[in-house]
A = this chain, B = another copy of it.
C-alpha cells in the first residue's frame, strides 16, 4: 500500500474509532472510554444531580469534631471522624432493620435504646473503608476496643460512645489504626470541623452531604446541622447510609427519639436507590442543650413543633442528597401516591414503583412508559382497582379510569420526561392513604459501578 493508501486507511480507522467511542460514551453515560479496560475502577464522576455547593453549616455549641487519615483502607484521604458532645447532651437514633446488622449497629442501638442521656458527655466515632460487618466475634471486639480508646481520649464513659463503620463487608477491621488516631484527634477538636467530617465518612459518594436549619424562639435561636453519606442503599463493597445531626436544643432523650423516629419514616424510610438494604445504616441525632432557647419540655408547644419540623426538613434534605448521589443517577424522581386504602398501602405502591427496574430504566430512557407504572401498582400487593387508577407524569395526566387518558399528548409528555427532576403521580381512587417517596433512575452507570470486573 502506498502513502495515500495508508493515509486513507488511517482516516477511515479514525472515523471508526470515533464512532466506537461515541457509542461507548452512550453506553456508560458520559464516561470516556478506558484505555486499559477492565482492571482498574476510576473514581466516579460527580453526580449530575449534585447541589451547586456544600452548604454553610452553623456551629453547634457543645459539639466539636475532628477528622484523621488513619489508613483503614484508603490512602491519601481522611477516613475517621469524631464528634464529641458536651455533658448533658441527649442522643437519639434509628438503625437498619437488617437481620445481619453490623456489630457497631447492634452496640449503638443497645446504648441508645429509647433515647440516651449523657450526663458525662458522649462521643461518636465513625470510620470509612471497612464496615466491620459479618466479621463475627472479631467485629464485637473491634467495637469494644474503639469504645475503650474513645473513653481514654475524650473522657466519656463507654456507654456513651457510639460507633459506625462503613466500607467493605467481611474483612477484619484494623481497629488499632482507629484507636491510635483518637488521642491526637482529641487535641484538635473544633466546632467548625463538621464539613471536614462530612468528607471523612464518604465512600463511593461523589459529593459530601450537609444540611442545616435555625429556629428562632423567644429565648434564643436553636441551630441544627447535619451530615450524611450514602450513594445507594448499599454501595459496591462500601455499604451504607450514615447520618449525624447535631443541635443545641435542650430536649429530653425520649422526646428526641420520638421525633427522630417519626421524621425518619417520612425521610430516610421514603428513599430508595436500588431496594437493597445496608447492614450498617444509622441515623444519630445529638442535642447538646446549649442554646439559649428555653428547653423543649412540652412537645405540643409551638417551639417544639417548629423544632420537629426543622429537624424533619434537615433529615429530608439529607435523604434527598443521598438519592441525588445514587449510583449512576441522572434523574431525581418523586413518586407521589394518593387515594390508597391507607398510608401503608400507599407506601407499598410508591416503593413498588420506585424500586421497579423497568420503571427506573424507562425514566433513564426519558420514556413516558406509564404501562410499567401500571405493572408496578399491580405487583405491589396493595389494594388497587384497575378501573379507578390515574397516573400522571408531572402535570400531564396519562391514564385515568383504567385506560389511557383522553387527550393524552405524547409530545408534551415526552418533552416533560427530559427534565432532571420528575414527578410520577398515582391516584388509586380508593381512599385517603397517601405517601411520597424519592428515587433515581437506573442507568448503565449503575451497572458499571457495581458490575464491572473487579479482578
Contact = CB atoms under 8 A, between A and B. Distances in A.
A152 interface: no
A120 interface: no
Interface in A394-412: 399, 401-404
A56 interface: no
A385 to B, nearest CB: 8
Contacts of A414: 455
A136 interface: yes
B403 A170 contact: yes
A180 interface: no
Interface in A7-31: 7, 9-10, 13-14, 16-17, 19-24, 26-28
A239 interface: yes
A160 B362 CA distance: 38
Given A136-B401, A383-B99, A23 B19 contact: no
Contact of A279 (B96, B133, B278, B374): B374
Interface residues of A, number: 101
A372 interface: yes
Nearest to A445: B447
A136 B96 CA distance: 42
Interface stretch (A34-42, A191-199, A210-218): A34-42
A100 interface: yes
Contacts of A451: 360-362, 364-365, 367, 441-444
Nearest to A402: B136
A84 B307 CA distance: 70
Interface stretch (A57-65, A75-83, A181-189, A269-277): A269-277
A246 B170 CA distance: 50
A300 interface: no
A380 to B, nearest CB: 7
A44 to B, nearest CB: 14
Contact of A370 (B26, B35, B170, B383): B170
A444 B27 contact: yes
A385 B365 CA distance: 41
A295 interface: no
Interface string A341-373: 000000000000001111011101111011110
A119 interface: no
